[in-house]
Structure 1
């Protein structure tokens, strides 16, 4: 019986991991991620409420909105909201990942007959991981047809560029120290002579099926063409571009759609531009979350005072991947707070408040997971190493509530091809489903009741 249970668990885990593979494959840019999320919400019966339209929100209803075609917020209104006070339970992730963006004037001619792409880094990339890989392009393109300006998604489904390494014979010290110059070494090769200046926009237009004269502007990014895969002698690993943070975007979406809670307003948020600081109109530092919550509050007939009270009783789970212990460099991890692959969701905490976790939010979230029998582990930076930050504190500065930072443990964060535990996909979905299902009633920072 135990063997049958383990076999069943393994198959469930791999099915969840395969779902993540499909999600990432359909999300080559933040614009495609938002479109993929919106498509899943539509299939689940959610109603789209554009920001520029009047909103009607009803108890029992499921809705979503989006901004810039790259950030999405969805919510489900419970049918048993208390008359005196209600609350939100929110999971937030981000749709963007480190890559390189093609500049407005896209082509660099020479030397000789070469044609290269002029790019600049988006976020904190591990530059060397982009060399000698087949690359493509994805993002959005704006065109004009008469008086109409239209946005189009573009994902080029073939190899069109590559960043070649310098041969070891021409750089004997490459294995001792490799620090590529972003203004010299990282220009992708686009043609060896068959294409000339102007070919890039003609190529984009042809892929869209429009005339090159119709192109106005574009947000196009390099895409690593290596497909996501589950691998290992025991199928323990999942490797893919963009695990940070599409793994959390996927897991939190699956949990949100699988959960049911009639006594709160459950919210799923997926923001753009976390990797470049979030300070954009569609980032976590924007008005998007506050605007959405204020409009929900007004549409269900509650006062501005009710919203303030609701936020004081609410909880945000900021979902962004965490560093697993590296197999070759365990010394880079904290000795005690050292998450491992396939051991469950990671709770992240930092004394400098780069993460929004504190003792109260940790206690509440841990209690929820313990009640659900879901494993969890902890991450903290080594005390002599500065860590990164995420969207939790950024969004919390604009819409303040109790909050916790969590993530999936992974290796090679910000590489063009990252690795995580295949079984953690199901563990994290289970953890976030437990959060959405729980009726968490917070009383200031003095206590909470978990129903």
Structure 2
């Protein structure tokens, strides 16, 4: 079962070379399950028992299932993110080097391990905006072949390569596309071919590099998975599967996958935007509820922020906290931080532990070393717009923000089962600081 779920996850990731493809893949799964697409710019009709989804910027998506018994309802919400660190192709993309080489001019997106991008097959995916008469339309593009590569400098030319190498983003990280005599400038031709449009009709692009190395299940007993974009498509996939399986009649179950977490979430489609708040308020209005009903619903609502976590490194265990250590294949990670980089507190942690117990899923606790600053994630950012009880969780992995990351073969199923249990539950805030969870 673990290997089957992991193989399905890796097939999902292969379909998601960009954030736009990730949201498109999620959308296809929802439509196959009978969900109806809503549009932000049109009025909604939301009914009890209905299944719906809405996208923003084609790179973030929120889906929801409406229960049938909503006299005293709440929102059960899970949030993950669709983006990963990569390189974006600049508008004026062409660099001719020494009159021989054609390079693509890029800039980094998010914080990444630069060395993981060298000497491996890469390609380009994203979206193009196309003029069609008086309209502008979005087309997804995936150049499904080995297209570019970022070559390392030979160690003979840089004897300090293995000693504190510092990379210059404008010099060392430009991908090689071709030789000027062989492909003087056919990059736009390739884009237009894969978008199935004339290149003259392409008005603008959002195109990114992605790693073509194939995902793998490996290890002495097949206990590991490795793939691009495990952070955070592993959580996006597993929480989607749990959301589809769960069904609480006394709640509105909500699945979110936001873009731009890797650059701070401060965009119109990020977790720091009004997207989630807008959707929840429109659900409330469509159900004939008042603003006070909405505030009461929020008091009993709960959000699971799902974003992968750092497993203890086999070569550097000293980088982890002395006691709060997490390992692959040992269950869902609950993240704690005294300075609220993670939203977990005693109440939300206890509730999630009970969910895991009910689902027969192991869980483990994570904090950074006290002398190491950690990153933040979706929960504390989303709480600025929608203030509800939240817990930050994830799945343990190695090589976070590499172009090729490693996780445990068992943990995807653990997350699916725990999230299914969450979406089968109804939470009541009976009194301040007290949550009651029922089926």
TM-score of the two chains, using structure 2 as the length reference = 0.98
Measure the CA separation in 2 of the matches of 1:145 and 1:75: 32
- Counterpart of 2:65 in structure 1 is 76
Q: Does 1:363 align with 2:350?
A: yes
Q: Does 1:377 align with 2:364?
A: yes
Measure the CA separation in 2 of the matches of 1:445 and 1:199: 63
Measure the CA separation in 2 of the matches of 1:32 and 1:168: 37
- Counterpart of 1:417 in structure 2 is 404
Any residues of structure 2 matched to 1:10-29 within 5 Å, and which?
A: 12-29=1-18
Measure the CA separation in 1 of the matches of 2:259 and 2:97: 35
- Counterpart of 1:40 in structure 2 is 29
- Counterpart of 1:255 in structure 2 is 242
Decide whether the 8 Å contact of 2:143 with 2:190 is kept in 1.
no
SS of corresponding position for 2:98: coil
- Counterpart of 1:325 in structure 2 is 312
Q: Unaligned 5+ residue runs, structure 2?
A: none
- Counterpart of 2:177 in structure 1 is 190
- Following superposition, the deviation at residue 203 of structure 1 comes to 2.1
Decide whether the 8 Å contact of 1:312 with 1:444 is kept in 2.
no
- Counterpart of 1:49 in structure 2 is 38
- Decide which of 205, 208, 219 is 2:192's aligned counterpart: 205
Any residues of structure 2 matched to 1:279-358 within 5 Å, and which?
A: 279-358=266-345
CA deviation string 1:50-84 (max 9, x = no partner): 111111111111111110111000000111112xx
- Counterpart of 2:122 in structure 1 is 135
Measure the CA separation in 1 of the matches of 2:361 and 2:246: 15
Measure the CA separation in 2 of the matches of 1:372 and 1:211: 52
CA deviation string 1:25-65 (max 9, x = no partner): 11110000000000000000111111111111111111111
Decide whether the 8 Å contact of 1:16 with 1:425 is kept in 2.
yes
Measure the CA separation in 1 of the matches of 2:45 and 2:27: 19
Deviates more, 1:330-339 or 1:204-213: 204-213
- Counterpart of 1:395 in structure 2 is 382
Measure the CA separation in 1 of the matches of 2:149 and 2:185: 19
- Following superposition, the deviation at residue 147 of structure 1 comes to 1.7
Measure the CA separation in 1 of the matches of 2:257 and 2:433: 30
- Following superposition, the deviation at residue 116 of structure 1 comes to 0.1
- Following superposition, the deviation at residue 309 of structure 1 comes to 0.9
- Following superposition, the deviation at residue 146 of structure 1 comes to 2.6
- Following superposition, the deviation at residue 265 of structure 1 comes to 0.5
Closer, same or farther: CA 313–204 of 1 in aligned 2, 3 Å? same
Any residues of structure 2 matched to 1:110-259 within 5 Å, and which?
A: 110-195=97-182, 198-259=185-246
Decide whether the 8 Å contact of 1:107 with 1:197 is kept in 2.
no
Instruction: Show structure 1 runs of 4+ deviating over 6 A.
Output: none
- Following superposition, the deviation at residue 111 of structure 1 comes to 1.7
SS of corresponding position for 1:268: strand
**How many residue pairs are counted as aligned between the two chains?**
438
Measure the CA separation in 2 of the matches of 1:412 and 1:133: 16
Measure the CA separation in 2 of the matches of 1:445 and 1:362: 16
Measure the CA separation in 1 of the matches of 2:359 and 2:171: 53
Q: Does 1:278 align with 2:265?
A: yes
- Following superposition, the deviation at residue 196 of structure 1 comes to 5.2
SS of corresponding position for 2:406: strand
SS of corresponding position for 2:145: coil
Measure the CA separation in 2 of the matches of 1:40 and 1:444: 38
- Counterpart of 1:6 in structure 2 is none
Decide whether the 8 Å contact of 1:360 with 1:445 is kept in 2.
no
Decide whether the 8 Å contact of 1:109 with 1:197 is kept in 2.
no
- Following superposition, the deviation at residue 233 of structure 1 comes to 2.2
- Counterpart of 1:5 in structure 2 is none
